[in-house]
């Protein structure tokens, strides 16, 4: 019988082989893919996020848990697509222009994917023009900007200004984060949301998507 509690545990304890095995088993038994996603994988990642916030897990544990989930997702993704399960929302994420740091941004992307968001990752050193083009092309609702350098924080403001100039500002919600970024800075540049860490980024993205966190 499908073991979704065991699947969640496999994510929390970062047991990749078990996570893949239980995901395949649940698919073979005909469990609905959104149930496998929400009651197995996302439930596990939620606990990982809580443990990260409580300083019970650190960056390596979260990264490995997220990778475990991604391996399980490789089996589930085709079934989800076939079933037409809608993602929570589409998120375009990137580290802003001039900034090459991506460890935190990748962690945020993985946690968001773990929470059911569809992620379009533009990478690092992303210009305002590239963010604008991606929003136009992908029709995403949320844009997530990361910066690790005080010298690249102004690029967040420039990116929001570029959305304004392109007439896109009302169509999207912009969230910002990264070690030097604060709620005050987010307010100052007119961002819609801020999160201090990857687990809180999930709560912020859910709020921006209109989903109860």
- Chain positions contacting ligand B1M, by CB under 6 A: 59, 98-105, 107-108, 144-146, 148-151, 175-180, 195, 197-198, 201
Least distance to ligand B1M from the beta carbon of 171, Å?
A: 18
Which long-range contacts does 49-58 make (Cβ < 8 Å, 24+ apart)?
49/111, 49/114, 49/198, 49/199, 49/202, 50/199, 51/12, 52/197, 52/198, 52/199, 53/197, 53/199, 53/200
Q: Which is nearer to ligand B1M, 104 or 128 (by Cβ)?
A: 104
- Give whole-number Cα distances, 32 to 35, 70, 98, 113, 114, in Å: 5, 18, 44, 19, 17
Q: Quote the least distance from Cβ 14 to ligand B1M, whole Å.
A: 17
As measured in angstroms, the least distance from the Cβ of 40 to ligand B1M is 24
Shortest spacing between CB 132 and ligand B1M, in angstroms: 17
Decide whether 33 or 178 has the Cβ nearer to ligand B1M: 178
Q: Is 153 exposed, middle or buried (0-12, 13-18, 19+ CB in 10 A)?
A: buried
Which CB sits closer to ligand B1M, 79 or 108?
Answer: 108
Nearer residue to ligand B1M within complex by CB, 26 or 135: 135
């Amino acid at each position: 019988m499908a073991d979704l509690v065991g699947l969640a545990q496999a994510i929390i304890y970062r047991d990749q082989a078990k996570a893949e095995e239980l995901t395949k088993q649940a698919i073979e038994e005909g469990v609905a893919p959104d149930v496998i996603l929400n009651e197995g994988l996302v439930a596990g990642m939620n606990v990982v996020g809580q443990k990260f916030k409580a300083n019970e897990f650190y960056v390596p544990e979260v990264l490995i848990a997220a990778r475990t989930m991604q391996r399980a997702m490789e089996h589930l993704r085709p079934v989800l697509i076939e079933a037409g399960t809608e993602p929570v929302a589409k998120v375009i994420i990137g580290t802003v222009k001039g900034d090459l740091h991506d460890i935190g941004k990748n962690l945020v992307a993985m946690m968001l994917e773990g929470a059911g968001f569809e992620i379009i990752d533009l990478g690092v050193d992303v210009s305002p023009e590239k963010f604008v083009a991606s929003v136009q092309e992908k029709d995403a609702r949320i844009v997530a900007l990361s910066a690790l350098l005080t010298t690249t924080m102004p690029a967040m403001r420039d990116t929001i200004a570029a959305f304004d100039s392109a007439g896109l500002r009302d169509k999207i919600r912009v969230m910002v984060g990264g070690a030097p970024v604060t709620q005050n800075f987010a307010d100052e540049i007119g961002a819609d949301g801020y999160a201090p860490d990857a687990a809180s980024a999930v709560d912020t993205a859910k709020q921006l998507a209109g989903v109860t966190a």
